[in-house]
Structure 1
Amino acid sequence: MKADLFRQPRRTAFTLVELLVVIAIIGVLVAILLPAVQSAREAARRLQCQNHLKQITLALHNYHGMHQSMPVSMTGADQYDGGAGSGFHSWLSRILPQIEQAALYEQIHFDRPLSDKIDYQFDSEYGEYTLSPSLADATVLAAIVPTFLCPSDPNAEIQDTLGIQTAPGSYAGNIGWPKSSTGPRNLIPLKKQNGVIGLYNPSSSDTWQQPQIRFADIRDGLSNTIAVGERVIAQVFETSDAFGGEYVSPSTPLSMQSFCGGGATGRPLDRWVRYCGSVSASEVRYSRSHGHAWMSGWTFMANHIMPVIPINGRNCHVYGGEDDGMNLVTPSSHHLGGIHVSMADGSVRFLTDSIDRELYWALASSRGSETVELP
């Protein structure tokens, strides 16, 4: 019995050292597993992004089957004595019935301009584009269409940069090379759009714009021509000086900034890249609205891409191109290492940031007869 008095009591709890060891082990496991979980989530988001591109391109095929041409974006409004007709609706708004959004499509007033101002007289006036709650399509402008959004984009939410709530979009149609430009194997200045999505401004005629593009016009082959690509939704951080001037903060990602490309259009593609790359400061009003309204065909809503500047690089606007869509919007994404594009045949590909420059330009052109060898 006396021996029992000296017996040690049974321990029922962890010591502090043991607890710290367990916490350290859990921390190491979380550190190992978290990147894997994030990678798996991003892989799922990328797959969904690809599926959206596939759906949009199949919608283009269905639209072409019904209308015998690709959908068009209007970069201006009709003007006539006593009023205005249609204008500023994007190609995305026209394919809604083909992505099972017929009810939303029926709510859009395509016979009325999607702009507060309709009597544009000078190119520069198009830079002051605004939308107000009194517009017939004000409610529809805020309608989120999941198919038009890449889940990898953190800015895929309602925007308000134009004075009214608007629903953004992650995908932009390929409109080809800049007007009057030349390529490595195409030395004749481009006179007409060589992309897949057409543009049209009824009040400012420009022969470069092609309102009716057909599959038959894509002579390089549907599998060799980009139809739609990713473009990040802009979140421009602004700063100002003592005189009230607005500037883009350096904290804004380069892919969300637009730099001046001057007023010239007759440049080889490599000179466009050099010229745009030499500009030191971007401009707020040409950058802030990129991707902020899938419904609008306004040039600086950037629902169109010009695959010229290297992927995920800067954008380059052209003074004098405000009315006709002449805006070098660069394909970009939040995916690591590149972007997804859909070819005109409906296939979806991932183009890396390091893609050969001439191959990249060839994929943007619908009728350049360039040799294309995709990896």
Structure 2
Amino acid sequence: MRQRRFSGRKKAFTLVELLVVIAIIGILVGLLLPAVQAAREAARRMSCSNNFKQIGLALHNYHSAYKNLPMNRGGTYRTHSHGDSGDFNNYFSLSWMVGILPFLEQQGMWDQISNPLDLNRDGTRRTDGGNLPYPAMGPVPWNDNYQPWLTQVAAYRCPSDPTESAPYRLGYTNYSACAGDAYFEQHHGGVNDEGVASSDGTWGSEAGSRWARGVFHARHFTKFRDIRDGLSNTAMCGENIVDARERLVATVPYREAEAADMAQAPNTWEQYLDPERPRYWSPTLTDGDPGLDEADRHGRGRRWSDGRPQFSVFNTIRPPNSYCVYRGHGDFGYGSASSLHQGGVHILMGDGAVTFITDSIDTGDQTQVPYHNLDPTYGTAGAGRKSPYGVWGAMGTKASGEVIEEALGQ
């Protein structure tokens, strides 16, 4: 019988075969990574939408409890009784986000804010030096020694925005209240820091209310009954990117120091965009023009507790992810809704629904100056007119009688 002979050699992959396998794996990984990234962003976007739904539910529960929405730029009046440092009242400047904390399962934080607190951010006793404790409802929202204002509320952050707050910085927000398609004197609503309503015929409380076309009106309450265009047709809140100290137009506003210079068509400032990167200001601009010389805590979205427009308000004038224009960080102007989601932003409607609005939404006539006293076309006659800014502008107005004929977010 013949015996089979076995050679001592074992079969193995050749170098060419290994290279082919490695190349195939590389191709598969290259195809898979974008899908993984897309899946991660889809998850972050869904988480952001869930945050907004919780905020919408909190706003509705607040309205059920108090029969109105929370005031934006509310709080305690400036009294000067203990000096003028802002440590003993908050200059009537708290944002709408402070009031809804108990309805976001932040009762512990609300208890700290709504009662006198004698702790500094480092845990030392404020009263040890003979000072009075912080007042109920806290000091001014830019006080960075008051721990509640430094606390980052998770529900106010979009997971797609990576900008983080340092421990010594005020807490950030990615969500803003909608002030509609007008802005003139809407930073104070015609009411001063002492809570006194002005009777001025141009910018006073009554006269300026004609330009309060959105759901939120600074230093005034809004009820659902005031939203006559219908809750499901009216934007209540929107997203905003937190300023990362870059030249991004959505977060670094263009400054126009004079009110008359603000009274220009919304497309006026397109000339200052970087033609190669239109989401950034042109490198030819000096630092003072796009607000890059501002203190870092003045950036858009960098104070969730501050009710002034640059920090917690947006307008339906420019399309989503466009630029912002303000007279100053505490003054009037308009900011765009913005996000780091691809192609658009989440909007919270008055009925609590969250819809995704694309950057290409109809924004009407961008050559029409926003309605206000200095509008050279209409002036005060612009009050009550339908929004010139298309579907986007109509979404921002609460009682202008506009009909939105297309399905939103589709």
Give the structure-1-normalised TM-score: 0.76
Note if contact 1:174-1:304 (Cα within 8 Å) is conserved in structure 2: yes
SS in structure 2 at match of 1:255: coil
Report the residue type matching 1:330 in the other structure. S
Aligned partner of 1:185 in structure 2 is none
Note if contact 1:74-1:88 (Cα within 8 Å) is conserved in structure 2: yes
Note if contact 1:75-1:299 (Cα within 8 Å) is conserved in structure 2: no
Report the residue type matching 2:252 in the other structure. Q
Residue 342 of structure 1: how far off its partner (Å):
0.9
Deviation digits for residues 81-120 of structure 1, max 9, x if unmatched?
Answer: 423534332111110111111111111157355338xxxx
Pairing 1:1-375 to 2, within 5 Å after superposition:
8-11=7-10, 13-74=12-73, 78-83=77-82, 84-86=88-90, 87-109=92-114, 111=136, 114-115=139-140, 130-133=142-145, 138-155=146-163, 157-159=164-166, 164-180=168-184, 191-200=210-219, 211-237=220-246, 252-264=247-259, 271-278=264-271, 281-284=289-292, 285=294, 289-300=299-310, 302-318=311-327, 322-323=330-331, 326-357=332-363, 358-375=390-407
Give the Cα–Cα distance (whole angstroms) in 1 for the partners of residues 400 and 262 of structure 2.
16
Give the Cα–Cα distance (whole angstroms) in 2 for the partners of residues 196 and 212 of structure 1.
9
Q: Percent identity?
A: 33
Report the residue type matching 2:165 in the other structure. I
**Pair 150,359 (structure 1): closer, same or farther in 2 beyond 3 Å:** same
SS in structure 1 at match of 2:60: helix
**Pair 344,158 (structure 1): closer, same or farther in 2 beyond 3 Å:** same
Aligned partner of 1:122 in structure 2 is none
**Pair 43,364 (structure 1): closer, same or farther in 2 beyond 3 Å:** same
Note if contact 1:180-1:266 (Cα within 8 Å) is conserved in structure 2: no
Deviation digits for residues 44-94 of structure 1, max 9, x if unmatched?
Answer: 111111111111111111111111111112279622242353433211111
Report the residue type matching 1:142 in the other structure. L
Residue 335 of structure 1: how far off its partner (Å):
0.9
Residue 35 of structure 1: how far off its partner (Å):
1.1
**Pair 283,69 (structure 1): closer, same or farther in 2 beyond 3 Å:** same
Note if contact 1:70-1:198 (Cα within 8 Å) is conserved in structure 2: no
Give the Cα–Cα distance (whole angstroms) in 2 for the partners of residues 266 and 77 of structure 1.
33
Aligned partner of 2:366 in structure 1 is none
**Pair 108,258 (structure 1): closer, same or farther in 2 beyond 3 Å:** same
Greater percentage in strand? 1
Residue 266 of structure 1: how far off its partner (Å):
10
Give the Cα–Cα distance (whole angstroms) in 1 for the partners of residues 235 and 35 of structure 2.
32
Aligned partner of 1:125 in structure 2 is none
Give the Cα–Cα distance (whole angstroms) in 1 for the partners of residues 243 and 261 of structure 2.
28
SS in structure 2 at match of 1:198: coil
Unaligned runs of 5+ in 2: 83-87, 115-134, 186-206, 273-284, 364-389
Superposed CA RMSD in Å reads 3.0
Give the Cα–Cα distance (whole angstroms) in 2 for the partners of residues 295 and 355 of structure 1.
30
Aligned residues: 317
Give the Cα–Cα distance (whole angstroms) in 2 for the partners of residues 290 and 46 of structure 1.
21
**Pair 79,166 (structure 1): closer, same or farther in 2 beyond 3 Å:** closer
**Pair 368,74 (structure 1): closer, same or farther in 2 beyond 3 Å:** same
Note if contact 1:54-1:346 (Cα within 8 Å) is conserved in structure 2: yes
Residue 144 of structure 1: how far off its partner (Å):
2.4
Give the Cα–Cα distance (whole angstroms) in 2 for the partners of residues 159 and 234 of structure 1.
13
Residue 262 of structure 1: how far off its partner (Å):
4.8
Aligned partner of 1:206 in structure 2 is none
**Pair 315,267 (structure 1): closer, same or farther in 2 beyond 3 Å:** closer
Give the Cα–Cα distance (whole angstroms) in 1 for the partners of residues 260 and 216 of structure 2.
20
Report the residue type matching 1:151 in the other structure. P
Report the residue type matching 2:94 in the other structure. H
Report which structure shows greater RCO (CA 8 Å, sep ≥6).
1
Report the residue type matching 2:360 in the other structure. S
SS in structure 1 at match of 2:346: strand
Give the structure-2-normalised TM-score: 0.70
Give the Cα–Cα distance (whole angstroms) in 1 for the partners of residues 221 and 209 of structure 2.
17
Deviation digits for residues 273-311 of structure 1, max 9, x if unmatched?
Answer: 1233345541122885211221222443x2111121121
Report the residue type matching 1:282 in the other structure. P
Give the Cα–Cα distance (whole angstroms) in 1 for the partners of residues 108 and 265 of structure 2.
42
**Pair 158,331 (structure 1): closer, same or farther in 2 beyond 3 Å:** same
**Pair 213,272 (structure 1): closer, same or farther in 2 beyond 3 Å:** farther
Deviation digits for residues 212-251 of structure 1, max 9, x if unmatched?
Answer: 11111111111111011110111013xxxxxxxxxxxxxx
Give the Cα–Cα distance (whole angstroms) in 1 for the partners of residues 221 and 260 of structure 2.
23
Note if contact 1:189-1:266 (Cα within 8 Å) is conserved in structure 2: no
**Pair 112,145 (structure 1): closer, same or farther in 2 beyond 3 Å:** closer
